[in-house]
């Protein structure tokens, strides 16, 4: 083949490719109308509703218009939209109905800005489901917390939620007035323990919302101390002569180890209120009040004192 023949062959190939490109550009640059489908997935399905497998995702036929390039892209892409079940599905005589046209905004967004949705098949779509009993119940702790060494509880340990929603068999749900949370005993060897609890694992026959809760335990290394505090009489008659035995008691207190040096005798007041006594009482129980928040607990020893009325 001569140089001239190669040149002609090359020119033919270039011309053919250019013609094909021009045809492709011309062909797919035009605007076309095409039928396609949008897959609808659900969000915010009520906890007492279990959708059938064929209703978890529904396909909505739509007619769209766009350039050939955009429609070509659309043919290779699964178009899906997540739609709020509560706002888009209506109940009619016990049947759940979805009307796609009412969710046009969401469907438009799923298709894309460069594609115009001309028509949405508005044939009502029946959603298959099962409905279960559902109610809110409080959580009840059914396990023990054990503190190791000199760790003691600080404040109240509790769940992060007061109530959860349970859904399931009518008979099972109706007989539950609370949800027992049964665990192995928790051993505390740190200042903060957060236990994550999978309620669905504890109750596999129920659907629980939320499925996971936390139980938080706050602790601190504690130490005990004691101080001698005199008893103060309250509501003592002016002309009465009263003697307490003993007049000074021991207040035993606990606090965090790091706060021990900040506790003083001025933080405690021990009192006996004579108005709380009945005629003929010969003993009284002293009450201790604490003004320092670092004190975790305090008690009086002895627990009672004798009262002598001097005539």
Ranges for all domains in the chain classified under CATH 2.170.120.30: 222-310
CA 309, 277, 311 angle in degrees (round to 5)? 15
Smallest CA-to-CA distance from 195 within 183, 210, 207, 209 is with: 183
Residue range 98-120, pLDDT digits in tens? 999 999 999 888 887 777 888 99
Percentage of the chain lying above the pLDDT 70 cut = 86
pTM for this structure?
0.53
Tell the CATH topology of 222-310: RNA Polymerase Alpha Subunit; Chain A, domain 2 (2.170.120)
- 135-153: b (≥16 Cβ within 10 Å) or e: eeeebeeeeebeeeeebbe
Mean pLDDT of 55-72: 81
- Which pLDDT belongs to residue 281? 82
What separation in angstroms does the CA of 90 have from each of 43, 93, 96?
15, 10, 6
Task: Give the integer Cα–Cα distance in Å for 267 and 265.
Answer: 5
Give residue-wise pLDDT tens across range 167-187.
Answer: 988 888 989 999 999 988 888
Percent of the chain with pLDDT over 90: 47
| pLDDT attached to residue 169 | 83
Average pLDDT over residues 41-50: 88
Residue-averaged pLDDT of the chain: 85
């Amino acid at each position: 083949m001569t140089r001239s023949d190669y040149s002609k062959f090359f020119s033919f190939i270039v011309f053919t490719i250019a013609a094909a490109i021009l045809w492709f550009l011309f062909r797919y640059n035009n605007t076309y109308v095409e039928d396609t489908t949008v897959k609808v997935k659900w969000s915010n399905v009520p906890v007492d509703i279990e959708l059938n497998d064929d209703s978890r995702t529904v396909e909505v036929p739509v007619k769209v218009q766009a350039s050939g390039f955009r429609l070509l892209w659309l043919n290779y892409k699964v178009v899906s939209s997540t739609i709020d079940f509560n706002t888009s599905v209506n109940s009619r005589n016990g049947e759940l109905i979805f009307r796609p046209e009412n969710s046009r905004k969401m469907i438009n967004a799923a298709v894309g800005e460069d594609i115009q949705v001309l028509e949405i098949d508005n044939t009502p779509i029946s959603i298959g489901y099962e409905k279960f009993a559902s109610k809110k119940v409080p959580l009840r702790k059914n396990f023990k917390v054990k503190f190791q060494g000199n760790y003691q509880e600080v404040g109240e340990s509790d769940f992060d939620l007061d109530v959860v929603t349970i859904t399931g068999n009518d008979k099972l749900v109706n007989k539950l007035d609370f949800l027992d949370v049964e665990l192995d005993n928790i051993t505390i060897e740190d200042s903060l323990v957060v236990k994550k609890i999978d309620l669905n694992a504890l109750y596999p026959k129920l659907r629980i919302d939320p499925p996971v809760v936390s139980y938080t335990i706050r602790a601190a290394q504690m130490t005990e101390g004691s101080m001698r505090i005199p008893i103060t009489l309250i509501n003592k008659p002016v002309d009465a002569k009263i003697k307490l035995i003993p007049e000074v008691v021991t207040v035993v207190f606990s606090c965090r180890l790091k706060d021990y040096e900040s506790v003083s005798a001025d933080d405690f007041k021990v009192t006996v209120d004579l108005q709380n006594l009945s005629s003929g009482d010969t003993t009284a129980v002293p009450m201790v009040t604490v003004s320092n928040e670092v004190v975790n607990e305090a008690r009086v020893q002895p627990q009672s004192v004798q009262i002598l009325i001097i005539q």
